[in-house]
Structure 1
Amino acid sequence: MFFYLSQFLSFLAMPLTILLILIIIGAIYIRRKWGKKLLWTGISLMLFFTNPFLSNLALLAWEPEFKSFEEIESHEIGIILTGVTNMSKTAYDRTFFNKGADRITHALQLYRMGKIKKILITGGQGLNPSNPQTEAELLKRFLIMTGMPEEDIWIEDQAKNTAQNAQFTKDFLAQKGIPLSQEFILITSAFHMARAKGCFDKVGLKTTTFPTDYYSHDIKYDIPSLLFPDPFSLEYWTKLFKEWIGITMYKLVGYM
């Protein structure tokens, strides 16, 4: 119930939904003064949300700074949150990655550098599975393919959201007899790190963050960035809105 309520609120508050409501109502009531105002407000917001310079500024303000591999101290376990594979396409001889593959490739780099000794992947099939495999299984298969020993890869494949990632990871570690007083490296996308860190703090697991998968980039002052509308900018704002709404909902129900 919580998931569907969150999804519905996200839909209502999404930039595209707001734009469509303003433009459609404004067009219907174009003969009225307030209708024209709604229409022009919708058009103005559309230009705002599709401006790549502004969307990048918002991402830069939200995403934490990346950390160099050298500054990361050695830890026993790195915890990876899933959400990086195409679970709508079933294949048993490969892993289809979406954007976000940095989560697993950077974790592998930490492992190869000796910064972590084991990798724990947490994440199942989500709430509307169409693939009989879990995402943790898919990522484990990928790591084994790279030559990583299977005994250094642990998976928790039941979690369906970030709150469960944290709680189920804690339960998994306790069952393994791993001391929960130690610090773990938490690896997820930069835009998602605030929610993930909050959930792991809530269940009492100490973590140091290693953000990956950045949507932001260095500031550019060229003409395309400043003036040309970009559909991807609207997508970036949508991701931010969904994350902000998700954090708000998580705080309301006590997940953070």
Structure 2
Amino acid sequence: MPMGILCLLLIYAISTKNRTKSKKAVILAFIFLYIIGNSFLSNELFLWWEVPPTSINKVKQHDIGIVLTGGTINEDKLPIENIFLGGSADRMGQAIELYKKGKIKKILISGGGIEVLGQTQKLEIDEMAKYMIISGVAKEDIFLEKNAQNTRQNALNCSKILNKHFANQTYLLISSGFHLRRARGCFAKVGLKVDCFGADYISHERNFYWYNLVLPREGNLGLVQLLFREVIGYSTYKIMGWI
């Protein structure tokens, strides 16, 4: 991860007795920090990686919309009866809009809970279903897959449900723009033909304002770390033969 790389460079700079190598490590750390903190460059990275957005008006009608969980709901916030939206809630909002505009007829939500100290907290998938229902999605049009712990399992478990109950229908996969590459690959690997619809976009339209070109921002460090993690995840899945 970026912060780990920076720490290693600085630790090396402090620990080495060679003054020349120490200076080079500090300079390299500064250059790396500036690059990953630069708003223009970090945006370029996301524009390169994210699956481009699709105009909702150009989306053809699909029988099933598949929504992947992950950060859509803040599961740890109390009181428990409240639904607090997380940072990836846009994918849920996009699914609701697609449903209301008739682009998808039914919604399959996929994602399981993780036990913490032997206990499973309130499930994100259940909270998503509740939120969709109060937002106007008919309860009978929502289906849940509660066992998947990662994107590979999302694809495997959804394929079993879809092949059994909704075979030979059309599917629209809805997830974050930066995650769609891996998700699309996993679903294709298990033999499911899906169209994709991106949400939660981190990139924005390219601009050349001087402060974006020159000034680094601390918020970009977290964004680039997210991209690093996704690229590593994609590469790992590729090596494992899951995409």
Would you say same fold, with TM above 0.5? yes
In structure 1, what is the equivalent of residue 156 of structure 2?
A: 167
Mapping of residues 1-256 of structure 1, within 5 Å: 14-29=1-16, 32-83=19-70, 84-89=72-77, 91-126=79-114, 131-175=120-164, 177-179=165-167, 181-256=168-243
**Alpha-carbon distance, 1:168 to partner:** 0.8
- Segment drifting more, 28-37 vs 213-222: 28-37
Alpha-carbon separation, structure 1, partners of 2:79 and 2:238 = 37
Match of 1:6 in 2: none
CA distance in structure 1 between the aligned counterparts of 2:229 and 2:4, rounded to whole angstroms: 12
What number of residue pairs does the alignment pair up?
241
Q: Distance in 2 between matches of 1:50 and 1:131?
A: 37
Is the CA contact (8 Å cut-off) linking 1:90 and 1:131 kept in structure 2?
no
Following TM superposition, the consecutive aligned residue runs of length 4 or more in structure 1 with deviations greater than 6 angstroms are none
Quote the Cα distance in structure 1 between the aligned partners of 2:209 and 2:241.
Answer: 44
State how far apart, in whole Å, the 1-side matches of 2:79 and 2:107 are: 23
Deviations, residues 7-60 of structure 1 (Å, cap 9, x unaligned): xxxxxxx01100111012212336521121111111111111111110001111
Superposition CA RMSD, Å:
1.7
- Do 1:24 and 1:39's aligned partners in 2 also have CA atoms closer than 8 Å? no
SS at match of 1:119: strand
CA contact (8 A) 2:76 2:121 kept: no
C-alpha separation in 2, matches of 1:131 and 1:105: 25
| Range with greater deviation from structure 2 (156-165 or 130-139) | 130-139
Deviations 1:87-111 (A, max 9, x none): 3335432222222211111110010
SS in structure 2 at match of 1:89: coil
Supply the distance in 2 between the matched residues of 1:214 and 1:62 (Cα, whole angstroms). Answer: 11
Q: TM-score, normalised by structure 2?
A: 0.93
Mind listing any 5+ residue stretches in structure 2 that lack a counterpart?
Answer: none
**The residue matched to 1:40 in structure 2 has which SS?**
helix
- Segments of 5+ residues of structure 1 without an aligned counterpart are 1-13
Query: 1: CA distance between counterparts of 2:115 and 2:8?
Result: 29
Distance 2:75 2:241 in 1: 29
**3-state secondary structure, aligned to 1:187:** strand
1:7 matched residue in structure 2? none
Find the aligned partners of 1:36 and 1:242 in 2 and give their Cα distance. 29
Identity %: 37
Contact kept, 8 Å, 1:136 with 1:157, in 2: the verdict is yes
Give me the whole-angstrom Cα distance separating, in 1, the residues matched to 2:162 and 2:6.
46
- The one-letter code matched in structure 1 to 2:94 is H
Mean CA deviation greater in 207-216 or 147-156: 147-156
Q: 2-side partners of 1:148 and 1:187: how far apart?
A: 16
Taking structure 1 as reference, are residues 182 and 160 closer, same or farther at Cα in structure 2, changes over 3 Å only? same
CA shift digits 1:159-194 (9 cap, x unpaired)? 11000111111122234x221x33300000000000
